[in-house]
Amino acid sequence: MNIVVCLKQVPETAEAEVKLASDKKGIEMEGLPLQINEADNYALEQALLLTEEHDGDVTVVTLGPDSSDEVLRMSMAKGAAEAVRLAGPAFDRGDPVAIARALAAAVKDLEYDLVLTGCMSSDDGNTAVGMALAECLDLPHATYVTQMEMGDGEVTVGRELEGGLIEKLKMKMPCVLGIQTGINEPRYASIMGIAKASKREIAMKSASDLGLDEGSVGEEGSRTKLEELAYPPVGEGAEILEGTPAESSGKLAEVLREKGFV
Protein backbone atom coordinates (compact mmCIF):
# COMPACT_ATOMS: atom_id res chain seq x y z
CA MET A 1 0.00 0.00 0.00
CA ASN A 2 1.43 3.35 -1.07
CA ILE A 3 0.16 6.56 0.51
CA VAL A 4 0.64 10.23 -0.35
CA VAL A 5 0.37 12.71 2.52
CA CYS A 6 -0.09 16.42 1.83
CA LEU A 7 1.53 18.55 4.53
CA LYS A 8 1.76 22.22 5.38
CA GLN A 9 4.18 24.23 7.48
CA VAL A 10 2.42 26.76 9.72
CA PRO A 11 3.51 29.37 12.26
CA GLU A 12 3.13 28.61 15.96
CA THR A 13 1.16 31.58 17.28
CA ALA A 14 -0.26 30.30 20.59
CA GLU A 15 2.22 32.25 22.70
CA ALA A 16 3.35 34.86 20.17
CA GLU A 17 2.22 38.38 19.43
CA VAL A 18 0.74 38.27 15.93
CA LYS A 19 1.26 41.36 13.79
CA LEU A 20 -0.28 42.08 10.42
CA ALA A 21 2.03 42.46 7.43
CA SER A 22 2.23 45.90 5.85
CA ASP A 23 -0.08 44.89 2.98
CA LYS A 24 -2.63 43.47 5.48
CA LYS A 25 -2.86 40.25 3.47
CA GLY A 26 -0.83 38.16 5.87
CA ILE A 27 1.07 38.26 9.14
CA GLU A 28 4.65 39.16 9.95
CA MET A 29 6.50 35.83 9.97
CA GLU A 30 9.84 37.07 11.29
CA GLY A 31 10.57 35.56 14.67
CA LEU A 32 7.61 33.15 14.62
CA PRO A 33 8.51 29.47 15.17
CA LEU A 34 7.38 27.18 12.34
CA GLN A 35 6.03 23.64 12.63
CA ILE A 36 4.04 20.98 10.82
CA ASN A 37 0.30 21.65 10.82
CA GLU A 38 -1.20 19.71 13.73
CA ALA A 39 -3.81 17.73 11.79
CA ASP A 40 -1.24 16.95 9.07
CA ASN A 41 1.00 15.39 11.71
CA TYR A 42 -1.79 12.94 12.54
CA ALA A 43 -2.29 12.23 8.82
CA LEU A 44 1.40 11.43 8.48
CA GLU A 45 1.32 9.10 11.47
CA GLN A 46 -1.75 7.32 10.10
CA ALA A 47 0.01 6.79 6.77
CA LEU A 48 3.11 5.41 8.50
CA LEU A 49 1.02 3.03 10.61
CA LEU A 50 -0.86 1.75 7.56
CA THR A 51 2.26 1.17 5.46
CA GLU A 52 3.94 -0.60 8.38
CA GLU A 53 0.96 -2.92 8.66
CA HIS A 54 0.25 -3.44 4.95
CA ASP A 55 3.70 -2.78 3.43
CA GLY A 56 4.38 0.12 1.11
CA ASP A 57 5.82 3.62 1.08
CA VAL A 58 4.75 7.08 2.18
CA THR A 59 5.43 10.10 -0.03
CA VAL A 60 5.00 13.55 1.51
CA VAL A 61 4.12 16.59 -0.59
CA THR A 62 3.97 20.25 0.36
CA LEU A 63 3.62 23.63 -1.29
CA GLY A 64 5.65 26.39 0.29
CA PRO A 65 8.91 28.31 0.75
CA ASP A 66 12.38 26.92 1.47
CA SER A 67 11.60 26.66 5.19
CA SER A 68 9.00 23.99 4.35
CA ASP A 69 11.87 21.56 3.72
CA GLU A 70 12.08 21.23 7.50
CA VAL A 71 8.69 19.49 7.80
CA LEU A 72 9.51 17.29 4.81
CA ARG A 73 12.82 16.21 6.32
CA MET A 74 11.19 15.59 9.69
CA SER A 75 8.58 13.45 7.89
CA MET A 76 11.36 11.43 6.23
CA ALA A 77 13.09 11.11 9.60
CA LYS A 78 9.91 9.48 10.90
CA GLY A 79 9.70 7.06 7.97
CA ALA A 80 8.45 8.72 4.78
CA ALA A 81 10.26 7.36 1.72
CA GLU A 82 10.07 10.36 -0.63
CA ALA A 83 9.39 14.09 -0.40
CA VAL A 84 8.19 16.61 -2.98
CA ARG A 85 7.97 20.39 -2.59
CA LEU A 86 6.11 22.67 -4.98
CA ALA A 87 8.03 25.92 -5.15
CA GLY A 88 8.06 29.14 -7.10
CA PRO A 89 6.32 32.51 -7.22
CA ALA A 90 3.57 31.09 -9.44
CA PHE A 91 2.14 29.28 -6.40
CA ASP A 92 2.08 32.33 -4.10
CA ARG A 93 -1.18 33.41 -2.43
CA GLY A 94 -3.33 30.70 -3.92
CA ASP A 95 -6.78 30.04 -2.47
CA PRO A 96 -7.74 26.46 -1.47
CA VAL A 97 -8.82 25.54 -5.02
CA ALA A 98 -5.61 26.88 -6.58
CA ILE A 99 -3.53 25.05 -3.96
CA ALA A 100 -5.48 21.84 -4.56
CA ARG A 101 -4.99 22.18 -8.31
CA ALA A 102 -1.23 22.42 -7.83
CA LEU A 103 -1.11 19.50 -5.39
CA ALA A 104 -3.22 17.37 -7.72
CA ALA A 105 -0.76 17.96 -10.55
CA ALA A 106 2.03 16.64 -8.34
CA VAL A 107 0.05 13.73 -6.88
CA LYS A 108 -1.49 12.36 -10.08
CA ASP A 109 1.80 10.96 -11.39
CA LEU A 110 2.65 9.20 -8.11
CA GLU A 111 1.76 5.63 -7.19
CA TYR A 112 -0.81 5.67 -4.41
CA ASP A 113 -3.73 3.81 -2.87
CA LEU A 114 -4.67 6.62 -0.50
CA VAL A 115 -4.13 10.37 -0.29
CA LEU A 116 -4.22 11.73 3.26
CA THR A 117 -4.40 15.35 4.39
CA GLY A 118 -5.11 17.02 7.69
CA CYS A 119 -8.78 17.94 8.09
CA MET A 120 -7.84 21.63 8.39
CA SER A 121 -4.88 23.97 8.68
CA SER A 122 -4.34 25.80 11.95
CA ASP A 123 -3.44 29.08 10.22
CA ASP A 124 -6.13 29.64 7.58
CA GLY A 125 -8.66 27.10 8.89
CA ASN A 126 -10.41 26.76 5.52
CA THR A 127 -10.91 22.95 5.73
CA ALA A 128 -11.24 23.04 1.93
CA VAL A 129 -7.96 21.93 0.33
CA GLY A 130 -8.49 18.20 0.91
CA MET A 131 -11.97 18.20 -0.61
CA ALA A 132 -10.88 20.35 -3.54
CA LEU A 133 -7.92 18.01 -4.08
CA ALA A 134 -10.28 15.03 -4.27
CA GLU A 135 -12.37 16.83 -6.87
CA CYS A 136 -9.27 17.68 -8.92
CA LEU A 137 -8.21 14.02 -8.81
CA ASP A 138 -11.78 12.82 -9.42
CA LEU A 139 -11.65 10.61 -6.32
CA PRO A 140 -14.14 9.91 -3.52
CA HIS A 141 -13.36 11.67 -0.27
CA ALA A 142 -14.26 12.03 3.39
CA THR A 143 -12.99 14.43 6.02
CA TYR A 144 -12.80 14.69 9.81
CA VAL A 145 -11.86 11.00 9.78
CA THR A 146 -11.29 9.56 13.25
CA GLN A 147 -11.48 5.84 12.44
CA MET A 148 -10.10 3.67 9.63
CA GLU A 149 -10.51 -0.03 8.86
CA MET A 150 -8.83 -1.44 5.76
CA GLY A 151 -10.50 -4.01 3.51
CA ASP A 152 -9.81 -5.59 0.15
CA GLY A 153 -9.53 -2.59 -2.17
CA GLU A 154 -11.68 -0.48 0.14
CA VAL A 155 -11.58 1.38 3.43
CA THR A 156 -14.29 1.90 6.04
CA VAL A 157 -13.95 5.24 7.79
CA GLY A 158 -15.66 6.86 10.73
CA ARG A 159 -15.96 10.61 10.35
CA GLU A 160 -16.78 13.02 13.16
CA LEU A 161 -20.09 14.88 12.95
CA GLU A 162 -21.65 17.49 15.20
CA GLY A 163 -22.72 16.45 18.69
CA GLY A 164 -20.17 13.65 18.96
CA LEU A 165 -21.83 11.51 16.28
CA ILE A 166 -19.72 9.26 14.02
CA GLU A 167 -20.73 8.58 10.43
CA LYS A 168 -19.48 5.29 8.92
CA LEU A 169 -18.63 5.24 5.20
CA LYS A 170 -17.25 2.46 3.03
CA MET A 171 -15.12 3.81 0.19
CA LYS A 172 -13.32 2.28 -2.77
CA MET A 173 -9.62 3.03 -3.04
CA PRO A 174 -7.93 5.16 -4.16
CA CYS A 175 -9.61 7.97 -2.22
CA VAL A 176 -8.75 11.16 -0.36
CA LEU A 177 -9.20 11.34 3.42
CA GLY A 178 -8.96 14.37 5.72
CA ILE A 179 -7.61 13.12 9.05
CA GLN A 180 -8.85 14.55 12.35
CA THR A 181 -6.56 15.06 15.33
CA GLY A 182 -6.71 12.33 17.96
CA ILE A 183 -6.96 9.38 15.55
CA ASN A 184 -3.54 8.18 16.74
CA GLU A 185 -0.49 9.28 18.72
CA PRO A 186 2.12 10.88 16.43
CA ARG A 187 5.63 9.53 16.92
CA TYR A 188 8.84 11.46 17.47
CA ALA A 189 11.70 11.23 15.03
CA SER A 190 14.85 9.49 16.23
CA ILE A 191 18.20 11.29 16.25
CA MET A 192 19.53 8.78 13.73
CA GLY A 193 16.46 9.31 11.53
CA ILE A 194 16.94 13.10 11.62
CA ALA A 195 20.62 12.72 10.69
CA LYS A 196 19.81 10.48 7.73
CA ALA A 197 16.94 12.70 6.55
CA SER A 198 19.21 15.76 6.51
CA LYS A 199 21.07 14.19 3.58
CA ARG A 200 18.02 13.00 1.65
CA GLU A 201 16.97 14.62 -1.59
CA ILE A 202 13.73 16.60 -1.84
CA ALA A 203 12.21 16.71 -5.32
CA MET A 204 11.51 20.32 -6.28
CA LYS A 205 8.66 21.01 -8.71
CA SER A 206 7.73 24.30 -10.36
CA ALA A 207 4.46 25.03 -12.15
CA SER A 208 6.11 24.36 -15.52
CA ASP A 209 7.57 21.07 -14.22
CA LEU A 210 4.01 19.97 -13.47
CA GLY A 211 2.68 21.12 -16.83
CA LEU A 212 0.61 23.85 -15.22
CA ASP A 213 -0.16 27.21 -16.74
CA GLU A 214 0.92 29.84 -14.21
CA GLY A 215 -2.47 31.48 -14.57
CA SER A 216 -4.15 28.36 -13.17
CA VAL A 217 -2.41 28.40 -9.79
CA GLY A 218 -1.43 30.92 -7.14
CA GLU A 219 -3.22 34.25 -6.90
CA GLU A 220 -3.98 34.34 -10.62
CA GLY A 221 -5.68 30.94 -10.53
CA SER A 222 -7.71 31.65 -7.40
CA ARG A 223 -11.47 31.92 -7.40
CA THR A 224 -11.46 33.98 -4.23
CA LYS A 225 -9.27 36.97 -3.41
CA LEU A 226 -8.07 38.00 0.04
CA GLU A 227 -8.77 41.70 0.33
CA GLU A 228 -7.55 42.42 3.84
CA LEU A 229 -6.94 41.00 7.29
CA ALA A 230 -7.95 43.03 10.33
CA TYR A 231 -7.79 42.73 14.07
CA PRO A 232 -11.15 42.06 15.77
CA PRO A 233 -12.74 45.20 17.22
CA VAL A 234 -11.87 45.89 20.83
CA GLY A 235 -14.84 45.29 23.09
CA GLU A 236 -15.56 46.46 26.60
CA GLY A 237 -13.46 45.12 29.44
CA ALA A 238 -14.69 42.47 31.84
CA GLU A 239 -16.59 43.55 34.92
CA ILE A 240 -15.28 42.12 38.20
CA LEU A 241 -18.02 41.37 40.72
CA GLU A 242 -16.69 41.90 44.23
CA GLY A 243 -18.09 40.87 47.58
CA THR A 244 -19.10 37.65 49.28
CA PRO A 245 -20.34 34.71 47.17
CA ALA A 246 -23.93 35.63 48.04
CA GLU A 247 -23.39 39.29 47.11
CA SER A 248 -21.55 38.42 43.88
CA SER A 249 -24.23 35.95 42.77
CA GLY A 250 -26.90 38.56 43.45
CA LYS A 251 -25.06 41.13 41.34
CA LEU A 252 -24.60 38.55 38.57
CA ALA A 253 -28.32 37.78 38.56
CA GLU A 254 -29.06 41.49 38.27
CA VAL A 255 -26.65 41.87 35.32
CA LEU A 256 -28.24 38.92 33.54
CA ARG A 257 -31.70 40.44 34.03
CA GLU A 258 -30.53 43.81 32.68
CA LYS A 259 -29.02 42.14 29.60
CA GLY A 260 -32.21 40.18 28.96
CA PHE A 261 -30.72 36.72 29.54
CA VAL A 262 -33.23 35.80 32.28
Q: What is the pTM of this model?
A: 0.87
CB distance 261 to 254 below 8 Å: no
What confidence score (pLDDT) does residue 15 get?
79
Cα dihedral sign for 204, 205, 209, 215? negative
Q: How far apart are CA 153 and CA 140, in angstroms?
A: 13
Cα–Cα distances (Å) from 12 to 34, 78, 123, 209, 232, in that order, read 6, 21, 9, 31, 20
CB distance 62 to 6 below 8 Å: yes
Q: How far apart are CA 153 and CA 166, in angstroms?
A: 23
Cα dihedral sign for 87, 41, 47, 128? negative
Q: How far apart are CA 224 and CA 221, in angstroms?
A: 9
Domains and CATH numbers, the chain: 3-216 (3.40.50.620)
Q: How far apart are CA 96 and CA 126, in angstroms?
A: 7
Residues 6+ apart with CB under 8 A from 22: none
Residue type (1 letter), 54: H
Residues of the chain where predicted confidence (pLDDT) is lower than 50: none
CB distance 116 to 3 below 8 Å: yes
